[in-house]
Every structure is written in structure tokens, then in C-alpha cells.
Structure 1
Amino acid sequence: MTAWLSVLVPLLVMFFALGMERVESRLRESTVRQDELDEMLEQPRPDEVRALFRSGTSRALELFRLRNRRRRGTRRSQVPST
């Protein structure tokens, strides 16, 4: 019985550590950059504030990123090409 326990416990700890590593890597990828959040909170639009209140930061940042993409796209189209 003790032999099984001495083999089973390290295996369980190893599998737990591997599982937590996967969870940590997913959390690291989905984190919000501080500068992006600061920029969104400096000049919020009503739809972004509503999304922040109802759905949290992920949806509000998604709307903010869409707004930035549109704004960058119009800047590029306004610049004359030589």
C-alpha cells in the first residue's frame, strides 16, 4: 500500500502542475495591457462604458480596439501616397 502511495502522489502532483501551467499560459495571453486600458478610460465612448458595466473589460476593450482600427484605417486612407 505504501509503495502505491509513493508512486501515485508524485504522479498526481506532476499532472496537477502541468494542468496549472496550461491555465497560467491561457491567463497570460488574455491579460489586458495597462496602457491600452488607460487609453480607453481616458476617452471613453458611451457604448464602451455600457459594455464595461454590463460585460466587463474584455467586451469594452474589444469595442475600443475596433474603434482604434477604424480610426487608423481612415488616417491611412487620408495620407496621400507618393
Structure 2
Amino acid sequence: MTAWLSVLVPLLVMFFALGMERVESRMREAALRQEELDQLLEQPRPDEVRALFRQGTARALELFRLRDRGPGNRRTARRSKVSS
């Protein structure tokens, strides 16, 4: 019986650690970067503010990221002019 426990306990701990590593990697991918939050709070649009209060940070950041990646993004155009 003790032999089984000495084999089973380390295996259980190892599988638990592997499972927690997967959970942690998913959380790390979904984590909010400080720069993104600062930009969102410095230059919010009305729809982003509405989403922030009604649906939470995740939806507001989704709208912010869509705005930031949009084809008519003025910030991207200004940055490219400045860097040229």
C-alpha cells in the first residue's frame, strides 16, 4: 500500500502542476497590459465608456483594440509620418 502511495502522490502532483501551467498560460494571454489600459483611459470614446460601465473592462478593451487596429486609424497615420 505504501509503495502505491509513494508512486501515486508524485504523479498526482505532477498532473496538477501541468494543469495549473495550462490555466496560467491562458490567463497570461488574456491579461491586460498596463499601456493598453492607460491609453483607453486617456482617450476614451463614448461607446468605449458606455461598454466599460455596462459590460466591464473586457468589452471596452475589445472596442478599443478594434479602434486601434482599424484601417482609418489616425494615430497610426501620425506615427508613420513622424517616423518617416
- Calculate the TM-score normalised by the size of structure 2: 0.78
Q: How much has 1:55 moved relative to structure 2?
A: 2.2
Indicate the residue corresponding to 2:5 in structure 1.
5
Computed over aligned residues only, the root mean square deviation of the Cα atoms, in angstroms, reads 2.1
Bigger shift: residues 51-60 or 15-24:
51-60
Aligned match of 1:19: 19
* CA shift for structure 1 position 53: 1.9
1:38 — aligned with what? 38
Moved over 6 A (4+): none
Identity %: 82
Matched positions, count: 77
CA distance in 1 between partners of 2:54 and 2:17 (Å): 34
- Aligned-partner Cα distance in 2 for 1:4–1:45: 61
Mean alpha-carbon deviation: is it higher for 8-17 or for 61-70? 61-70
**Distance in 2 between residues matched to 1:19 and 1:13, nearest whole Å:** 10
**Counterpart amino acid of residue 12 in structure 2:** L
Question: How far did 1:66 drift?
Answer: 1.4
**Runs of at least 5 residues in structure 1 that lack an aligned partner in the other structure:** none
The structural deviation recorded for 1:54 is: 2.4
Which sits farther off after the overlay, 10-19 or 62-71? 62-71
Amino acid at match of 2:68: N
TM-score by length of 1: 0.79
